[in-house]
Amino acid sequence: MIKIALIGQPNVGKSSLFNRIAKKNIAIVSDQAGTTRDIRKREIKIDDREALMLDTGGIDDTNDAIFTNVKRNAIKTAKEADIILFMVDGKKIPDDKDKELFYELQALGKKLALIINKIDNDKEKERVWDFYSFGIDEEDLFPISVSHNRGTRRLFEWIYELLPSNDEVEINYEIEDDLSLEQFLTPMEDINQKAQDNHIKVAIIGRPNVGKSSILNAIIGEERSVVSPIAGTTIDPVDETFDYEDKHITFVDTAGLRRRGKIEGIERYALMRTEDMLAQANLAIVVLDASVPLGDQDEKISGLVDKFGLGTIIVLNKWDDEARDKSGWQEKDSFEKLEDEIRFRFKFLYYAPIVAVSAKTGRGIEKLRQKIIQIHNNFIQRIPTSKLNNIIELAVRRHSLPSPNGNMLKIYYATQFNTSPPTIALIMNKPKFLHFSYKRYLINFLRDNIDFEGTPIRIVARGKNQIIEDEEISIKYQEI
């Protein structure tokens, strides 16, 4: 598929154009310079022709570690792309930095467009003449206003002609008018699809600077996400795909979460986006920093996983000699000590395995990959009805059903009516009298007999005449 890279300095409007072309609010848009720091990818379609759009972080000539990595990733992306869209701010006069970047991209020999953004009206078109000093042909120069959708039709036509097509068709472009970007964008899809057998969606969450981006890079085996010791480097969630064994895995390296009192502006939006991604995920990796004591914020962030009912792995990152030297731990007893503390603090994630890794050295990463596959298989598994009923029958024999207020309870049969997570209905004579403590007992008994590691189990009690549908929204369940 043809790749199109968006390149330019911070705050020139790349993410807005990315959204305009994709027709979805994918990239975070803000007046704050440098909001986009990682590579954003989206398959786009202009009429009948398709391409892969890459929105890069703003390139800035600075010694800051974040932007040093951003520039490297952006230039690397430009080298891999077939078409380069270099964007500048039309409200400013061209500077030497813009020209230097443009000439560096021009030397790559790719099809290159110079996009002059923020030309909001006809009067401002006079400033376009200053940009002819770049030495670019007029056919490759595009004065536009993304926010008002001015001049974009000619740019779309230019891109369209460079994309491969099987058949000649009539092109029907939208009529341009002064629509705001917010009016033009379609809302984000409400994607709540269940896990597919061969497709795993993994959300990586944790407080800032615990190493989420480093873990993503270590698992994939390539630096896809910008890594920096500065807390809060990742603002946009970063989607990356990775094929492992027979699974297609999509990782979401979510923005670092801070205390709500410290979340302002763009980070507040990032928190909302993080919850959106958790709603789409099948499995969550909760990252904790093994080199520092656990905090209350770790518990609060982990509670998001419990809220969305995801398959879960708890990862202790920075499990290396340097971290243990700082903390004074000894490897022999430190893991058991930490494990006990995690189990005490995160009682709601008692079913989640704990994996110690070092993204820096690669220690434990292969084990983490294997755990992702195992937990996902547990998350989507469906237990045969006969086997399930045999286990429930044995559980009842070992611990009889209670008789609250003299009400004799009886389970007629059990059936699993949903997966992701496994959800089981107990068909009973008096379902409303089944106490949650007995449900907890049954869940623990199921775990003793079936591998449900890493996944919550839901049990609902229903009467004989109550309809059980295979839709979560139609059932009011109590999660244990």
* 419 and 321 assigned to the same domain: no
Retrieve residue 389's tokens. 């009923």
For residue 196, what are the contacts with CB-CB under 8 A and spacing of at least 6?
A: none
Last residue of a domain, one of 345, 380, 415: 380
CATH assignment at residue 405: 3.30.300.20
**What integer pLDDT is reported at residue 141 of this predicted model?**
93
93 touches 76 (CB < 8 A): no
Residues 34 and 177 in one domain: yes
Q: Are residues 139 and 73 in the same domain?
A: yes
Whether 142 and 32 share a structural domain: yes
Q: Which residue range is the domain that position 367 belongs to?
A: 199-380
> Any residues with CB less than 8 A from the CB of 107 and at least 6 apart, and which?
none
Closest CA to 375 of 355, 352, 359: 352
Number of domains in the chain: 3
Q: Are residues 250 and 350 in the same domain?
A: yes
- As a dihedral over the C-alpha atoms of residue 268, residue 21, residue 86, residue 151, rounded to 10 degrees, the angle is -110
**What CATH number is given to the structural domain containing 256?**
3.40.50.300
Domain termination site, one of 327, 348, 380:
380
Q: Do 341 and 394 belong together in one domain?
A: no
Strand partners of residue 49: 46
Q: Residue 253 has what pLDDT? A: 52
The number of residues in the chain equals 480
Specify whether 66 is located in the same domain as 80.
yes
| pLDDT reported for residue 268 | 52
Enumerate residues 6+ apart whose C-beta is below 8 A from 285: 202, 203, 204, 205, 215, 312, 313, 315, 368, 372
In a domain, 416, yes or no: yes
pLDDT at position 273 is: 58
Reduce the DSSP state of residue 217 to 3 states and report it. helix
Q: What are the tens digits of pLDDT across the range 8-17? A: 877 788 878 8
| d(C-alpha 140, C-alpha 125), whole Å | 16
SS (HEC) of 276-291: HHHHHCCEEEEEEECC
Strand order in 458-463's β-sheet?
411-418, 423-428, 458-463, 478-479
Q: Is residue 194 part of a domain?
A: no
CA 386/CA 379 separation, integer angstroms: 20
pLDDT at residue number 299: 83
Listed residues 135, 158, 184: the one ending a domain: 184
What pLDDT shows up at residue 367?
95
Q: Is residue 190 part of a domain?
A: no
- Is residue 7 in some structural domain? yes
Are 231 and 298 within one domain?
Answer: yes
Residues 134 and 281 in one domain: no
Let me know if residue 390 belongs to a domain. Answer: yes
Claim to verify: residue 451 and residue 353 sit in the same structural domain: no
- Asked whether residue 263 is assigned to any structural domain, the reply reads yes
Do 304 and 163 sit in the same domain of this protein? no
Q: Is residue 189 included in any domain, yes or no?
A: no
| 3-class DSSP assignment, residue 157 | helix
Dihedral, CA of residue 205, residue 208, residue 212 and residue 214, to nearest 10: 180
Q: Cis peptide before 421, with omega less than 30 degrees from 0?
A: yes
pLDDT given at position 335: 76
Parts of the chain with a pLDDT under 50: 25-37, 61, 63, 66-67, 167-195, 224-238, 254-267, 269-270, 332, 469-480
In the chain, count of helices (H) and strands (E)?
13, 16
244 and 142 assigned to the same domain: no
So what's the pLDDT on residue 233?
Answer: 43
* 363 domain residue, yes or no: yes
